[in-house]
Amino acid sequence: MPITTCIFDAYGTLFDVASAAREAAAEPEFAMIAETWPTIANDWRLKQLQYTWLRAITGEHTDFWEVTGNGLDWALERAGLAGEAALRERLMALYWELSAYPEVPGMLDTLTSAGFKTGILSNGSPEMLAGAVKSAGIARHLDHVLSVESVGIFKPAQAVYDMVGTAFDCAPNEVLFVSSNGWDVAGATGYGFNTVWVNRAAEPVDRLPHRPAHVLDDLTAIPDLARTF
């Protein structure tokens, strides 16, 4: 069956999660992270993801904004910066308007011009996603922006992937699902989506029951790939 619908994870896939720390580090008042921002960004992202998994397992859901703040607090404490309130405030503000990867607007424009339906399926809260989408200027290219807050559990729970069929009235095998997270791609593959892992860092494939159908190093080729089904 041909692909009708292209669904994207948001954070790390469309939006550069390292951009908040990178941009703060370039500002004179936050020169204290000029050398350490990559480690802070990595720790922040890792803890953010770990907390979503643990909350999903334990049934203690909260929104992604709180999880994001919790992850940042851990990362700053590890870096010896737990008392830097202004830095924390600035990093959280920048996360609200993360930079999109440079190929994103053109890629989405090509997809929608070709007649594909497009959307986001994300752990992010509706307010966070609205901020990022507005900042990136890509709202007109998205039919739906779907947040896990509608079902109250984080990915890779099946209830999250169910949201795509409900919103787009499509079967799983009509969906091309794109994520930079190997665990997310594994969950989506097991669900029945056609999957793409955007592996910008050239990492090994996760040792999980399901593997990505396709691996790309950025999003540029997504429109061509969608047409091949």
**What was the pLDDT predicted at 52?**
98
Q: What is the pLDDT of residue 81?
A: 98
pLDDT along the chain (229 residues), means of 10: 96 98 98 98 98 98 98 98 98 96 98 98 98 96 98 98 98 98 98 98 97 98 97
pLDDT of residue 209: 97
Catalytic residues: 9
How long, in residues, is the chain?
229
- pLDDT at residue number 42: 98
Say what the pLDDT of residue 1 is: 82
The predicted pLDDT at position 19 comes to 97
Structure tokens at 124: 């992010």
Please report the pLDDT score of residue 141 as a whole number.
Answer: 97
